[in-house]
Amino acid sequence: MTKRLPNALQFSHQLLKAAVSPNDSVIDGTIGNGHDTLFLAKLVGKSGQVYGFDIQKQALQNTTDRLLRHKIDLKNIHLYQRSHANINQVLPESQQITAAIFNLGYLPGGDKAIVTKSKATTAALTACLDHLAVNGLVIVVVYYGHPGGQTEKEAVLHFCQTLPQEKYGVLKYQFINQMHEPPFLLAIQKIK
Ligand SMILES: C[S@@+](CC[C@H](N)C(=O)[O-])C[C@H]1O[C@@H](n2cnc3c(N)ncnc32)[C@H](O)[C@@H]1O
């Protein structure tokens, strides 16, 4: 191996790349500054659909700016300033998705007191699993060094660990010898 192992964020993009094809529909549950939304928009192409959620106006602005800077056609990018807990109020019941990504924590460069929270996060994960296609992936990058982060981390781990193994495979990807609570990744695959 000539390259370093990817960090959790890099690995999330490798997994998305493998799971998502042109024309697919996907969800970015925490658009923030739009890095993942842009990545997903490129993967699904002009006839795919990206549904993005964030509770902060700043996140919608930053994401729209990023997409425009990269000349992404906004026609099929649906951004909502509302909690990801409400995904089912937006997504048609029959809408299948092949992937969803959540980057937990606060908006980098924004208000560090506005963070993702266990109840909304687990509600959003449940909604995504309802829409997920077989072999599709729901990916969570868990940052937990901030106040409240440990509680959310435990809730999300519990959610994942108690999913029935006949229906879902769950991967945890984590460097275990790093200081300062490095983020880790959870990937839930629907297997039937
Ligand atoms: C770590 S940032 C996301 C970074 C983003 N993926 C990017 O590429 O820049 C986490 C985001 O989650 C948002 N957030 C917090 N609670 C939320 C909720 N209930 N629903 C949707 N977004 C939420 C925050 O406003 C923040 O922008």
Note the pLDDT tens digit of each residue in 78-137.
Answer: 999 999 999 999 999 999 999 999 999 999 999 999 999 999 999 999 999 999 999 999
Token representation of residue 48:
């795919």
* Domains in the chain: boundaries: 8-190
Angle 60-83-166 from CA coordinates, rounded to 5°: 120
Which ligand 1 atom minimizes the distance to the CA of 56?
A: 25
In DSSP terms, 78 is beta-bridged to 51
Residue 1: its pLDDT value, please? 65
Q: What share of the chain is helix, strand, coil (3-state, %, to 5)?
A: 40, 25, 40
> What's the burial of 4, exposed, middle or buried (CB within 10 Å: 0-12/13-18/19+)?
exposed
For the structural domain made of 8-190, what CATH number should be given? 3.40.50.150
Which residue owns the Cα nearest ligand 1 atom 18?
Answer: 83
CA of 119 to the centre of ligand 1 (A): 14
CA of 192 to the centre of ligand 1 (A): 29
Residue 2: its pLDDT value, please? 77
> Stretch 66-73: mean pLDDT, rounded?
97
Mutational test site, ligand 1, from 55, 119, 140, max ligand atoms within 8 Å of CB: 55
Residue 84: its pLDDT value, please? 98
Please tell me the least confidently modeled range out of 12-16, 100-104, 146-150.
146-150
Which ligand 1 atom minimizes the distance to the CA of 117?
A: 16
